[in-house]
A and B are shown apart, each in its own frame.
Chain A
């Protein structure tokens, strides 16, 4: 057996290797640093002479058609957009909009895809809007801007009043 160059430096350079690995591991982010809430975001607009401007509905109340006793928004007046939760267990949801005693119902059909957001953040369902129907009593028209609904809180649907 020969005791040479390598053996002499084996343990010295081991510490350098450990230091590199330590510094590398320090760059690993820990914990979940992003939103995991998935909401359908709808913004309110009004068209005036072809110009699109933000709009607020007076005394707005919103609830799920099957859950009239559980309100998502309760008599609010200063919102230009709302976030609605979609059911993870089903592929359709309907919501009732009430403003100054005028009722409208908007229903959504969608697909969902289970996605691992990250190891720390866990799983979320990403939805994809297939179809929207409404009674158009409050609502004038609508436009699907971004059919994919994820945790990025981007505008998904434009509602025109």
Chain B
């Protein structure tokens, strides 16, 4: 079932590679400016995972001639929950830096939609701790302790596929799915992080993530560019 759906998605890429109708060179203007996005999928966490708060902003900038987009993503996460025999809290920041490549050929100079793949390097710095740890042992009695605040660094790489479209002038919407591969995480070894901000499950080395982003492009300037675009047939 999963394989079928994945093959369906990737068939989109193959389809796109064949969209190569007669193209011609045109000299025209194109709006250039950073696109600032907000990941609205994080808002769903309020309902899906009470106790977890996560906000994420993204920014990308078109490097048109190369079909590349430079991307920066930053976020903040706070987690507080009561476990079986402990209270856990975690909070910190994360950032990702990378590139996206747009597979689509432009149909006109004002075509900004994207079917893209990209890569990211991610870094997170956060603290986590556990309080009121109560270990129950019937013969000798309860024992209460805590794990003091521990600073953790984590690095990872991501591979991304996604799409973006311009809903109205300068307003974009899009989603992506990403595979994440943990390179390193520090820590005191007593407990794995429940969740690494920006990465995901703290006890795994591979994670899957997704985002659903609403973005606004700040139209800084109009750049005169030479592009190859398709003739409508």
Residues of A within 8 A of B (CB): 1-2, 4-7, 9-10, 13-14, 16-17, 19-21, 23-24, 32, 38, 64, 67, 70, 72, 85-89, 93, 113-116, 118-125
When distances are taken between beta carbons in the complex, the residues of chain A under 8 Å from B143 are 87-89, 125
- Contact in complex: A123, B85 (CB < 8 Å): yes
The answer, among A10, A85, A121, for a CB contact under 8 Å with B163, is: A10
Q: In the complex, are the beta carbons of A20 and B5 less than 8 A apart?
A: yes
CB distance from B83 to the nearest CB of A (A): 5
Q: In the complex the two chains form, is B177's CB within 8 Å of A32's CB?
A: no
Residue of B165, B190, B212 with highest tally of chain A CB at under 10 A: B165
Cβ contacts B139-162/A at 8 Å (1 or 0 each): 111010101000000000000000
Output the least CB separation between B114 and chain A (Å).
6
0/1 interface trace, chain B 164-202, chain A, CB 8 Å (1 if under):
111111000111010000000000001110100000000
Cβ of A6: which chain B residues have Cβ within 8 Å of it?
A: 104, 113-115, 163-165, 174
Shortest CB-to-CB span from B79 to chain A, Å, is 11
- Tell me whether B210 and A114 are in contact (CB under 8 A): no
B138 close to chain A: CB less than 8 A: yes
B residues contacting A by CB (< 8 A) are 1-2, 5-6, 8-9, 12, 16, 19, 83-86, 104, 107-108, 110-115, 130, 133, 135, 137-141, 143, 145, 147, 163-169, 173-175, 177, 190-192, 194, 203, 208, 210, 212
Distance in angstroms between the alpha carbons of A64 and B130 in the assembled complex: 31
* Complex contact A123–B130 (CB within 8 A): yes
B5 close to A124 (CB less than 8 A) = no
Q: Who on chain A is nearest to B109 by CB?
A: A2
Which residue of the partner chain, among B84, B104, B137, B138, contacts A122 with CB atoms under 8 Å?
A: B84
Tell me which of B140, B145, B167, B190 contacts A87 (CB under 8 A). B140
CA distance A105 to B177 in the complex (A): 62
Establish whether residues B190 and A16, one from each chain, have CB atoms under 8 Å apart when the complex forms.
no
Number of A-B contacts (CB under 8 A): 120
> How far, in angstroms, from A20 to B210 measured CA to CA in the complex?
11
* Residue of A5, A16, A88, A120 with most partner-chain B CB within 10 A: A5
A24 lies within 8 A of B208 (CB): yes
With a CB–CB cut-off of 8 A, which chain B residues contact A116?
Answer: 130, 147, 190-192
- Whether A70 pairs with B139 at a CB distance below 8 angstroms is yes
Q: Which residues of A contact B111 (CB under 8 A)?
A: 2, 4
Which residues from B are CB-within-8-Å of A2? Answer: 107-108, 110-113, 166
Name 26 interchain pairs, CB-CB below 8 A, sorted by A. Answer: A1-B167, A2-B112, A4-B104, A4-B111, A6-B165, A9-B12, A10-B165, A14-B175, A16-B5, A32-B84, A64-B139, A70-B139, A72-B139, A85-B138, A87-B137, A87-B143, A88-B140, A93-B140, A114-B147, A115-B190, A116-B190, A120-B83, A120-B84, A121-B84, A122-B83, A122-B133
